[in-house]
């Protein structure tokens, strides 16, 4: 059925954070086949991944607050206190793309927090490379941070491991490949890995001087170091692999799963901890337990190992993933003190620079024009490079560099810093019109498995149309200045990008061929000043303006078959989310009857976040047939209508069965009738309790979305 394929149509990879109730079916990894003997040692590995320096950041999990370092710290400390034998670890991206309370001091506050917490071992993520190898080493081993030379790092008081990053000058691993920890009289080995996609995720300067092992070399390295660990009497081996993985409907996939499959079935590796894609993983692949606990400190994993002290072998293994809800949990005072020290140094973080109505977001920025993307690109375009030149002709912003939305209500510098946390330098380039076209074509890449890898640039100063029914070389059907003047292929234009893009990051390789390059100010500074100068503390406004027009690939048959099959509430919402191209939230739906791994869970989460659905009694009843009046209450939220309550009743009364319309649906149905979206089934009756067929639902959604856009 059409409505069940919405995810495949979008081809999106969204991230969902489940509530505790929704996680119950996914909490336990597969146990080993051998029961634990009475004298086995029980060890718990307590860990996080992708914390990203979110020291003072509160996330929403469903409709509940979760995360922030003071809350996470309480959970971690209380969990460790329950067990006689435990180790605390993190699995990469603990720093980088951080909240300003951490990033303004080069993530030293996050490093201080991890030292205070007593982490035992950590691995490298791709974001540890954001500012280059020298900065990475300063953070880990201590010393003056090379960026601006203003921060001196104390260094980590715990071990970092990585086995697949090689220094080109020495041919050796950048840091120690593994470490052995002893707890409860048993030895546990930790081998570190980072995603092989790191060179494409950070600026080329970030990985200068190192190379990353190929998939085949990585497997060889894991086997090699596992053998070395065994030779040292270690049989319990954990791979901290900052590689993506996801478990859905009992199946675990991703780079970490690929690694598990590539290792021998009898490999001594017991557990692979995943990361990078901020998802839930908890399942077994080729005898290896794979676990990941979302991101931003909104969850943590508790990996339980039963270890035979005589042989050192793991006899049982399982894991739970717990969401760090804030309600009823006291903040850890030591963590609060670290955050306060940072905030006291930066009073500018709390001063409002304007307000928004919540509509300036990065929604679907990887695929389409986004209002926040337009705002950032406009700021970049007018940046002052000290060359006494007028504004640049164009600006281009990579969607991966837009890390948060502008919040509804007051906007502070801290909010802007969460959006652009990298401290990138802006660069002005000279590019021909032909190179501009090539740059846009390089947005549309392809993954190794043949699936699309789209990174739509957010733009200023130009507009274009793209037909996705055509090959990349022919996809751009029009390309012009804002006023419609066609861009001259041979003319030279000035364009502003960030230094990540200018160095060929995200595969925008044509920028390496720019005629000239001029480095300028920091992107966040420019964005902040643009907001201050343009909106003067008032309402910050930005919208989609038709800068990008994408004609989607045609997936519909030439003739839509008529069907009388009635669709469910979940199918209706999935189709609506698909057509609206919603892809904004990173939380699971809060309804008790919507499982986090359900095919429609992402759509329901998006619709809830957009205010389109509410459910009732804590449930959504996804499998129940949707009625005409239920559909109307959802679609009516998309359109404006001047109809008053009295007018609504009058409109409904014109239908023979108007009195059968539920009170809650009178105004919504009237709004849709007033806008020409909804009509009577036979022009005389509304049949509000009747279910919707696939074709009727599709027609209603298309009309409502069109009315919203008009």
Calculate what percentage of the chain has a pLDDT beyond 90.
Answer: 62
Do 153 and 142 meet the contact criterion of CB atoms below 8 Å apart? Answer: yes
Q: Of 455, 390, 401, 456, whose CA–CA distance to 428 is shortest?
A: 390
Report the pLDDT averaged over residues 396-406. 94
Q: What is the mean pLDDT of the chain?
A: 88
| pLDDT tens digits, 618-650 | 778 888 889 888 999 999 988 876 655 568 888
Say how far apart CA 147 and CA 109 lie, in whole Å. Answer: 16
Question: Is the predicted pLDDT of residue 29 greater than 50, yes or no?
Answer: no
Spatial CB neighbours of 431, under 8 Å, sequence gap ≥ 6: 439, 492, 493, 494, 495, 510, 511, 514, 515
pLDDT on residue 31? 32
pLDDT on residue 4? 33
Question: Is the predicted pLDDT of residue 558 greater than 70, yes or no?
Answer: no
pLDDT on residue 696? 85
Question: Is the predicted pLDDT of residue 328 greater than 70, yes or no?
Answer: yes
Q: Helix, strand, coil % (nearest 5) of the chain?
A: 35, 25, 40
Backbone angles phi, psi at 436, to 5 degrees: -60, -45
pLDDT on residue 25? 31
| pLDDT tens digits, 251-287 | 999 999 999 999 998 999 999 999 998 999 999 999 9
Count the neighbouring beta carbons within 10 Å of the beta carbon of residue 227.
12
Answer with the residue of higher pLDDT: 19 or 385: 385
Phi/psi-derived region of residue 282, left when phi > 0, alpha when psi is between -120 and 50, beta in every other case: beta
| Helix, strand, or coil (residue 650) | helix
Count the neighbouring beta carbons within 10 Å of the beta carbon of residue 223.
16
Rg (alpha carbons) of the chain, rounded to whole number: 27
pLDDT on residue 21? 30
pLDDT on residue 452? 84
Do 464 and 479 meet the contact criterion of CB atoms below 8 Å apart? Answer: yes
* Helix (H) / strand (E) containing 188: strand 186-194
pLDDT on residue 397? 98
Backbone angles phi, psi at 580, to 5 degrees: -80, -10
pLDDT on residue 642? 61
Strand partners, 550: 466
pLDDT on residue 100? 86
| pLDDT tens digits, 45-100 | 999 999 999 999 888 788 788 999 999 999 999 999 999 999 999 999 999 888 88
Q: Of 285, 262, 260, 269, whose CA–CA distance to 234 is shortest?
A: 269
Backbone angles phi, psi at 564, to 5 degrees: -105, 5
Do 413 and 100 meet the contact criterion of CB atoms below 8 Å apart? Answer: yes
Answer with the residue of higher pLDDT: 690 or 30: 690
Q: In what order do the strands lie in the sheet with 269-273?
A: 178-183, 186-194, 236-242, 269-273, 288-293, 280-285
Report the pLDDT averaged over residues 116-139. 96
* pLDDT band per the 50, 70, 90 thresholds, residue 24: very low
Strand partners, 426: 498
pLDDT on residue 28? 36
| pLDDT tens digits, 569-621 | 888 998 898 888 888 776 777 788 887 767 788 888 888 888 899 877 677 88
Q: Of 378, 384, 454, 458, whose CA–CA distance to 426 is shortest?
A: 384
Question: Is the predicted pLDDT of residue 5 greater than 80, yes or no?
Answer: no
Alpha helices in 268-412 (DSSP H): 333-345, 371-381
Say how far apart CA 74 and CA 339 lie, in whole Å. Answer: 15
Question: Is the predicted pLDDT of residue 36 greater than 50, yes or no?
Answer: no
């Amino acid at each position: 059925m059409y409505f069940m394929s919405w995810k495949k149509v979008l081809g999106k990879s969204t991230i969902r954070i489940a509530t505790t109730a929704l996680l119950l079916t996914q909490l336990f990894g597969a146990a080993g086949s051998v029961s634990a003997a009475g004298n086995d040692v029980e060890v718990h590995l307590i860990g996080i991944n992708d914390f990203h320096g979110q020291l003072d950041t509160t996330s929403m999990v469903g409709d509940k607050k979760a995360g922030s370092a003071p809350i996470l710290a309480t959970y971690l400390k209380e969990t460790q206190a329950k067990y006689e034998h435990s180790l605390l670890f993190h699995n990469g991206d603990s720093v980088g793309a951080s909240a300003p309370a951490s990033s303004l001091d080069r993530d030293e506050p996050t490093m201080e927090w991890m030292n205070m917490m007593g982490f035992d071992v950590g691995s490298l993520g791709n974001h540890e490379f954001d500012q280059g190898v020298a900065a990475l080493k300063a953070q880990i081993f201590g010393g003056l941070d090379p960026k601006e030379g203003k921060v001196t790092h104390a260094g980590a008081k715990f071990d970092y491991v990585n086995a697949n990053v090689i220094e080109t000058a020495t041919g050796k691993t950048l840091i120690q490949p593994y470490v052995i920890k002893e707890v409860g009289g048993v030895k546990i080995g930790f081998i570190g890995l980072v995603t092989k996609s790191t060179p494409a995720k950070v600026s080329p300067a970030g990985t200068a001087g190192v190379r990353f092992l190929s998939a085949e070399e990585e497997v060889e390295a894991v086997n090699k170091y596992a053998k070395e660990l065994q030779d040292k009497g270690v049989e319990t081996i954990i791979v901290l692999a900052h590689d993506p993985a996801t478990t859905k409907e009992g199946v675990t996939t991703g780079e970490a799963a690929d690694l598990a499959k590539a290792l021998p079935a009898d490999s001594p590796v017991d557990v692979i901890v995943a990361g990078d894609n901020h998802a839930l993983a908890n399942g077994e692949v080729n005898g290896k337990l794979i676990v990941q606990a979302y991101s931003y400190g909104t969850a943590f994993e508790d990996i339980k190992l039963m270890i035979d002290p005589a042989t050192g072998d793991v006899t049982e293994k399982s894991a739970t993933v717990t969401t760090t809800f804030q309600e009823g949990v006291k903040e850890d005072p030591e963590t609060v003190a670290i955050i306060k020290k940072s905030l006291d140094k930066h009073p500018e973080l709390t001063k409002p620079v304007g307000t928004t109505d919540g509509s300036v977001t990065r929604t679907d920025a990887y695929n389409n024009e986004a209002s926040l993307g337009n705002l950032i690109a406009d700021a970049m375009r007018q940046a002052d490079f000290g060359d006494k030149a007028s504004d640049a002709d164009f600006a281009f912003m990579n969607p991966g560099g837009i890390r948060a939305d502008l919040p509804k209500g007051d906007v502070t510098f801290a909010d802007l810093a969460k959006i652009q946390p990298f401290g990138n330098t802006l660069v002005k380039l000279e590019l021909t019109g032909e190179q501009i076209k090539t740059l846009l074509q390089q947005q549309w890449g392809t993954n190794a498995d043949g699936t699309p890898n789209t990174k739509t640039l957010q733009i200023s100063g130009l507009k274009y149309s793209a037909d996705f029914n055509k090959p990349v070389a022919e996809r751009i059907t029009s390309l012009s200045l804002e006023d419609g003047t066609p861009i001259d292929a041979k003319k030279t234009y000035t364009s502003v990008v960030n230094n990540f893009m200018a160095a060929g990051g995200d595969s925008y390789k044509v920028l390496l061929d720019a005629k000239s390059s001029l480095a300028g100010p920091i992107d966040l500074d420019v964005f902040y000043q643009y907001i201050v100068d343009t909106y003067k503390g008032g309402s910050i406004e930005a919208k989609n303006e038709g800068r990008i027009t994408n004609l989607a690939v045609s997936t519909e048959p030439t003739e839509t078959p008529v069907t009388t099959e009635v669709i469910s509430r979940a199918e209706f919402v999935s189709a609506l989310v698909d057509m609206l191209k919603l892809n904004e939230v990173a939380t699971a739906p809060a309804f008790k009857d919507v499982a986090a791994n359900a095919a429609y869970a992402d759509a329901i989460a998006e619709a809830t976040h957009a205010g389109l659905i509410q459910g009732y009694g804590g449930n959504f009843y996804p499998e129940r047939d949707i009625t005409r009046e239920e559909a109307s209450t959802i679609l009516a939220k998309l359109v404006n209508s001047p109809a008053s309550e009295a007018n609504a009743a009058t409109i409904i009364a014109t239908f023979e069965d108007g009195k059968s319309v539920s009170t809650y649906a009178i105004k919504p149905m009237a709004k849709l009738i007033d806008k020409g979206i909804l009509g009577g089934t036979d022009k005389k009756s509304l049949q509000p309790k009747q279910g919707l067929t696939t074709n009727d639902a599709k027609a209603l959604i298309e009309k409502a979305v069109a009315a919203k856009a008009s």
